[in-house]
Structure 1
């Protein structure tokens, strides 16, 4: 996601920034998860969007 939603250009869709609320909201919407689930996933596997997606998908099946 882009650091500044008003800037034009190619967003960085490979990494998740948890320092900006608009990115947290965007990633939660993209992954269909809560803020807490996203933050826990980033803490567990890092900022890679692909790794977070895999982590969330694996943990959805455990619920």
Structure 2
């Protein structure tokens, strides 16, 4: 199956962190080795762009 079948495919989904999805917050917290609350705070201040969130958490 072609992953790029739709204009809003998997690539775009991976660029964002859905802050209301517990599994996504948990994944990002584990990946960055920070508490889930820090991930939620980063989402609140930086938006849901994975790059921006990871840059913010990396500086913490």
Q: Which has the larger radius of gyration?
A: 2
Q: Does 1:43 align with 2:52?
A: no
TM-score (norm 2): 0.72
Name structure 2 gaps, 5 residues minimum: 1-9
After the TM superposition, which residues 1-63 of structure 1 pair with which residues of structure 2 at under 5 Å, given as runs?
10=10, 12-59=13-60
Name structure 1 gaps, 5 residues minimum: 1-9
What is the Cα-based RMSD across aligned positions, in Å? 1.7
TM-score (norm 1): 0.69
In structure 2, distance between residues paired with 1:30 and 1:47: 16
- The structure with the greater share of residues assigned to helix is 2
SS of 1:17's equivalent in the other structure is: coil
SS of 2:14's equivalent in the other structure is: coil
Runs of 4+ residues deviating >3 angstroms: none
